Structure 1
Amino acid sequence: MTLHQRPSLQDVPAYKQGKPAAAGASKLSSNESPHAPLPSVLDSIQDGLANIHRYPSIAAPELTGALSAQFGIPAEHITLGAGSVEVAAQIIHAVAAEGDEVMYAWRSFEAYPSLVRIAGATPVEVPLDAECRHDLPAMLDAITEKTRLIFICNPNNPTGTVVQAEALDAFINAVPRNVLVVVDEAYVHFDRSAVRADGIELFRKYPHVAVLHTFSKAYGLAGLRVGYAISPLDVAANLRKVAVPFGVTDLAQRAAVASLAAIDELSVRIEEVVAQRERMHEGLAAAGYPVVKSQANFVWVDAGEATVELEAKLAAGGVVVRAFPGDGLRISSGTAEDVDRVLAALPAVQEATA
C-alpha cells in the first residue's frame, strides 16, 4: 500500500539551482553578486548572533520602517518573505484559488509555473516576442474571466529585456482593476535603460499593482533570503496571513537594514557588475553570438539548438552557466576575470564553425 500523495505535484518539477563550480572555475549560473559582504553588513550580523536562540520579529519594524522611509510609502503596504520568490508564492496563494489563472511571459522566471501549480491555480504562459521581450498586446488578449494575477518580470529573467515605461503604463491601465499586476523588479538596480518603467510609481498610480524587490542580487544577500512586496493594503493583509511564520530571520533583517544604510558603497559595486555585463555583451556580440541586450546582472545568449554545445564549451573553459536546452544560455555578470574566461571559452563564430 502506498501513501496518499497530491497527484497534481507530478506536474511540478523541483526547482533546480544553478550548477556549482569546481575550485578555480567561474560560477556564473545563479546571478549572485561577485562581491563579498560589506564589513558593516557583517558587523550587523555578528551583533545578532548572540540572539539566535530567540524568534525574529515577524513585523520587522526596523526593516519595514527603513523601506517606508526610502520609498515614502506607509509601512502597512510592505510585507516580507524569504526572498522575492517566497513573496511571489505568497501573492499567488493570497490572490488565486484552484481553477483561477495566473499569467506571465515565457520564458521568464522559471519558478513561476511551479509556484502557480503548487497553489492549485492554472498557469497561462504568453510567449515572448521575437526580440525576447514581453508581448503585452498578446498578454492583454489572453486575459479571461478567470485571470486573477499577472506577473511582469522587469527586467526579465533570463533574457534581461525591459518593458518600456509608456508601454507598461498603458498595459496596466488596460488590465481590469480586479486583476492584480505584479511588477517583479528583482534586477531593477542594474537597469541603465532610458525607458525603464518604475514599479513604485505605477503602484502609486494604480490600485491594482504590487511590486516585488529582493536583497539577493544588488545587495548581495542571496544566502540570507530576504525580499519584500509593496502592495495594496488588502493584498498586504492577506500576504501576512499566508506567509510562513518567522520566515525572515533576525540576521537577514539586520543585514538588510545595514545594506540600505550602505547604499553608496553598494552602488559602486553595482556599477562594476553593470560594466562587466556590458563588456561581456560587447565581446560576445563582436564574436558573432546572438546575445540579447540586457538590463540585469546577466546576459542572455539566444542560442536555440546550439545551447548544449555552447554550455559544454564554457564548461571546458572553466565557466559554469545556466542553460535552458533548446532556448539559450544565461551568463551572470561576475568579476573581470570571470568575463575574461567567458570570452576566452567562446571563440568567434567563424572560428568555431571553420
Structure 2
Amino acid sequence: MEHNHFFPPREGISLASLATQIGAELHDIGASERLIRSVAPVYRAKQGDICYILSRRSKQELDTCEASAILCDKALAPIIPAHIPVLLTSSPATAFAFAGALLFPSAMRPVAISPAMSGVSPAAFVDPSARLEADVLVEPMAVIGADAEIGEGCRIGPGAVIGAGVKIGRGCTIAGGATVQSALIGNNVIIHNGARIGQDGFGYAPGPRGMLKIVQVGRVIIQDHVEIGANTTIDRGTMDDTVIGEGTKIDNLVQIGHNVRIGRHCGIVAQVGIAGSTKVGDGVMIGGASGVNGHITIGDGAQIAAMSGVLADVPPGERYGGVPARPLKDFLKDVAASLSQAESRKHKGGKND
C-alpha cells in the first residue's frame, strides 16, 4: 500500500533520536543517522519505515521486509535479517505505539475539518452565557448551549452539540456530530464522531395502560484521558451518575447503560453492551460483542472473552468466556467436548451411510 495523502510521511526522525525518545536500544550504532519517516507492517515495510515483531510466527514476513529499523525483544533479534537495524525493547508493541505518536501526532485524535481555522466559526452557534477558555476551536455548525464551560485547547467538531450546563476540561476533542449533554468531562478526553453522551437511560415501569417512563435525572462523569469511539452511547444515570474512570478506552458502537460505573484503565471493545447499574473494576478488559447483565460486579483486572454473555459477578483477576460466561478453562473444556461429540456423531453417520 502506498502512503496516502491523509497521513503523509513526515520529514523524519533519526534512528538514534527515535530510540532515545521511545526508550529502545539501537543495536547497530552505525545506523544512527538513518531517518524514520513512517510506520508499516513487517511484510511490506520499506526504507524510511519502522515496524515491530512479537513472535517467531511472523518470521516469514521478514523475507519481504526492507524496513529502516525493526523493534523486537532480545530473544527475537537473531532472526532479524542482517541488513535491518534492530531496536531492542522488552515491550515492542508499546515502543511502536510511542513511535507512531511521534511520527503522526495528527492521527492521535480526530482531525479538524477546518484545520486553518481558529476560534469560533461564524457558522457555529455559541450561547452568550457559555464560557470558553483561550485557544478553543469551534467548527462550523457546532452548537454550544447555555452555561456550558469548555476548557483551554479543546476542539468542538462540525455539527457537534454541547448541551446546556455541560462542563468540558482542557485539551479535549469532541469530534463531528457527537452529542454531549448532562455530562462533566475531564481533561484530555477524546470523543469520536457520532458518539452520544448523556441521553436518557432505558427505564420504564409497568402501568395500567402500558410502560411508564421513569425520569432519568443523573449525569455522566467522564474522567481524564478517556477515549470514546464513534457511535458509542453512554446513558446518563437515573438518579445517580454513570461514571467512566480515568484512562479507560471504549471502542466504537458500545452501549453503556444508566448508572454503570466503569473503573480506571479499562478496555471495552466494539459492540459490547453493559446493562444498567453494573460496576466494572479497574483494569478490566471486555472482548467484542459481549453482553454484560445489569446490577452485577466485574472485579478488578478481570478479562472477558469476545462474544461472551456475562450473567453474574466475575471475581477480580479471573478470565471468563462463553454463554453464560464462566471461567475460561471451563469454557474451553466445554468447547472441546462439544467438538469431540460433533466429530463422533459425524463418524457414526458416515459408517451408517
Q: TM-score, normalised by structure 1?
A: 0.19
State the TM-score, normalized to the length of structure 2: 0.19
Higher relative contact order (CA 8 A, sep 6+): 1
Write 1 or 2 for the structure with the bigger share of helix.
Answer: 1
